[in-house]
Amino acid sequence: MITVNPFIDNVLNIAPAYMQGFLVLMVIFTIGGVVLDMMHKKNVKFFFNNAKKAKLSATKSVSTGEKTAIIVKTLAHDVATSAEFCGVTRRITHLLGMYGTILFWVSSAVMIFSASSTSTIYPMLWHIGAIMTCVGGYWFWFIQRVDVRAEGNNWSRIVFADLFVLSLVITSTFGLLWSYFQSANSNGLATLFFIMFVISNVVLFGGVYWSKFAHMFYKPGAAIQKHLAEADGSRDDLPEPADLPKQFGLGIKRSEPQNY
């Protein structure tokens, strides 16, 4: 199963051209949802206005080379390793979900657009990516959800902000089930889970505007802007860090944070 491209000779015998068209449609849904989200929330406008404000409050000049180094370091550290999360388990679940999703999506595109290929590496990456996404997603959903642990909400509480995580994990789950039953020649169940896989993809990419999908594009920008503000001294109009915790002891570190 893990070395078989499930898009080749799929249970409904859908031609590659139709699957390619569906994939392009999902990309259009994604771009459209992100653009609508930016227009509605005005995040990009906020970032540009904040950058102009920071430039006026800067106490020192930062060269282009320094800015480039800060951007590269932020992408390599904050983004690529999810360094923003202090808790080890929260960081692990996020990394599993992030890199699992990247493997799942990239290998899906490669297998769909090169359906005649006999390579086994991409089917393996597709299955591994789906498994990683499921492990990270379910671990986060049932064990680490912030609003449940910190705010005392019921575990079954679902809001629009949860749409991205849920549809992402469910899509990966249906994909694995479809692949398994298709490999086992169980056409009835394979058909069912293939249809559910398609529907969950429509919900995932069609619901970008209402979910936290676009949030993924804003976070790197916010992290870069934060580090640039620290470098030029503007610090988003915040005071410099105080050394009072060191003067008055480290009692704050006696208990590790449990909610995030």
Query: Rounded distance, CA 3 to CA 132, Å?
Result: 16
φ/ψ (deg, to 5) at 9: 50, 50
Q: Per-residue pLDDT for 44 more than 80?
A: no
φ/ψ (deg, to 5) at 248: -105, 15
Query: Rounded distance, CA 150 to CA 258, Å?
Result: 9
Local confidence band at 177 (pLDDT 50, 70, 90 cut-offs):
very high
pLDDT tens by residue, 202-216:
999 998 888 777 777
Q: What pLDDT was estimated at residue 255?
A: 61
φ/ψ (deg, to 5) at 165: -60, -45
Nearest to 115 by CA among 2, 6, 27: 6
pLDDT tens by residue, 121-144:
999 999 999 999 999 999 988 887
DSSP H or E run through 231: helix 215-232
DSSP 239: P
Rounded mean pLDDT, 235-242: 68
Q: What pLDDT was estimated at residue 176?
A: 96
Q: What pLDDT was estimated at residue 241?
A: 66
User: Kindly report the CA angle at 213 between 168 and 67, in degrees rounded to 5?
Assistant: 130
Long-range contacts of 58-66 (CB under 8 A, 24+ apart): 58/232, 58/233, 58/234, 59/232, 59/233, 59/234, 60/232, 60/233, 61/232, 62/228, 62/231, 62/232, 66/231
Query: Rounded distance, CA 95 to CA 80, Å?
Result: 8
pLDDT tens by residue, 96-125:
999 999 999 999 999 999 866 768 899 999
pLDDT tens by residue, 146-158:
766 566 677 677 8
Query: Rounded distance, CA 223 to CA 72, Å?
Result: 11
What tokens does 188 get? 């009835």
Q: Per-residue pLDDT for 260 more than 50?
A: no
Local confidence band at 95 (pLDDT 50, 70, 90 cut-offs):
very high
Rounded mean pLDDT, 64-86: 85
Rounded mean pLDDT, 65-76: 88
Rounded mean pLDDT, 206-235: 79
State CA 99 to chain mean position distance: 8
Q: What's the pTM value of the predicted model, to 2 decimals?
A: 0.81
DSSP 86: -
Sequence ranges of the domains in the chain: 16-52+63-235
Query: Rounded distance, CA 226 to CA 228, Å?
Result: 6
Torsion of CA 203, 187, 138, 94, to 10 degrees: -70
Query: Rounded distance, CA 17 to CA 3, Å?
Result: 22
Q: Per-residue pLDDT for 230 more than 70?
A: yes
Q: What pLDDT was estimated at residue 163?
A: 86
Q: Does residue 212 contact residue 164 with C-beta atoms inside 8 Å?
A: yes
φ/ψ (deg, to 5) at 156: -90, 0
What tokens does 39 get? 């227009």
